[in-house]
Chains A and B, each alone.
Chain A
């Protein structure tokens, strides 16, 4: 599967299927800090991602303090 990440922008490739939680663990990302998006909608933690999926992992943290 193709996984798009930002800051810096990059695309990673993974083989086979795995759950959203497994992918986030593998990337050492905190589930509280990101959303996983596939085909314009959200996929929950237990959803299985298929080999041909193209997904975006989007950080939800913004930093302005005012």
Chain B
């Protein structure tokens, strides 16, 4: 196989583009796709201050590298989720990335700063781990962006993520979610602007970017992801992709070009009917009730409720 651009030996075949690339031209393709996404969706300007949400995984580290390479000012925020070995390891990849570059990284550790971790928070709030995790991350990113005066928050969601979410939303015709599934979420109601510059690149490309640029990332999956629906949707989409390369891109890009606005308009009409947002009495974040969902999660997760056993409760075995 030869590189489509220079005819030197290729290292990767991208069947969606019906082409093969050498290292240099593959990396250039990744940067070009990010530049195209930024321009196409008017994501941010060269002078903007950007906060990137980093996890230690391939997508956010690759995106950080690409944006720095393009000359943007990008600071990182990592949230320690307290998910055992997975969290212990993932932070080391972020620290290693930062070591060799002149960038700012802020780390917020849930267990030390808020007194809970995702497993305990999920149990206390009776949410799935991913739901408790998503809620915590969104809240802390919004807060950090607002406090730090950032113009925009960027995340490493890629084409596979977006196509999988789209498939899930479509299977259940969740029109409100469909209306909001855009690569740019404008600022408003006290929330920062959020953008996804990797929507033109798939996860195979992002992993390849890391391997080829020598970025070490956490390869092992978060244990809470195992067997979730999102993974199932990705597998299904990859089966389609293998039979008909380009399917994922056509599905998602076609949605953006021809469908999302139909759902978005239905969504806009309901916005005015919503109760106005007001500051959370505990943390000041905009919310629709007195105390925001994050503060309620923290409160429940850190309350030490002793387990009461009724008189009929069976005796627990004493050894495991």
Interface residues of A (CB under 8 A from B): 6-7, 30-35, 37, 40-47, 58-66
Contacts and interface: CB of A to CB of B under 8 A. Distances in A.
Interface of B: 1, 10-13, 15, 20, 23, 55, 57-59, 130-131, 133-134, 137-138, 160-161, 164-165, 202-204, 206-208, 211-212, 214, 219-222, 224-226, 228-231, 234-235, 238-239, 241-242
Given A42-B12, A44-B12, A64 B222 contact: yes
A55 to B, nearest CB: 12
A42 B221 CA distance: 21
Contacts, number: 100
10 contacts: A42-B208, A44-B10, A46-B1, A58-B211, A61-B234, A61-B238, A62-B57, A63-B221, A63-B230, A64-B224
A18 B246 CA distance: 27
A66 B130 contact: yes
A61 B235 contact: yes
A32 B242 contact: yes
Contacts of A58: 207, 211, 219
B239 A30 contact: yes
A26 to B, nearest CB: 16
B212 A42 contact: yes
Contact of B207 (A6, A35, A47): A35
Give the one of B57, B202, B231 with max A CB within 10 A: B231
A58 to B, nearest CB: 6
B203 A60 contact: yes
Q: Return the 5 tightest CB-CB contacts between A and B, nearest first.
A: A66-B134, A63-B225, A65-B230, A60-B207, A63-B231
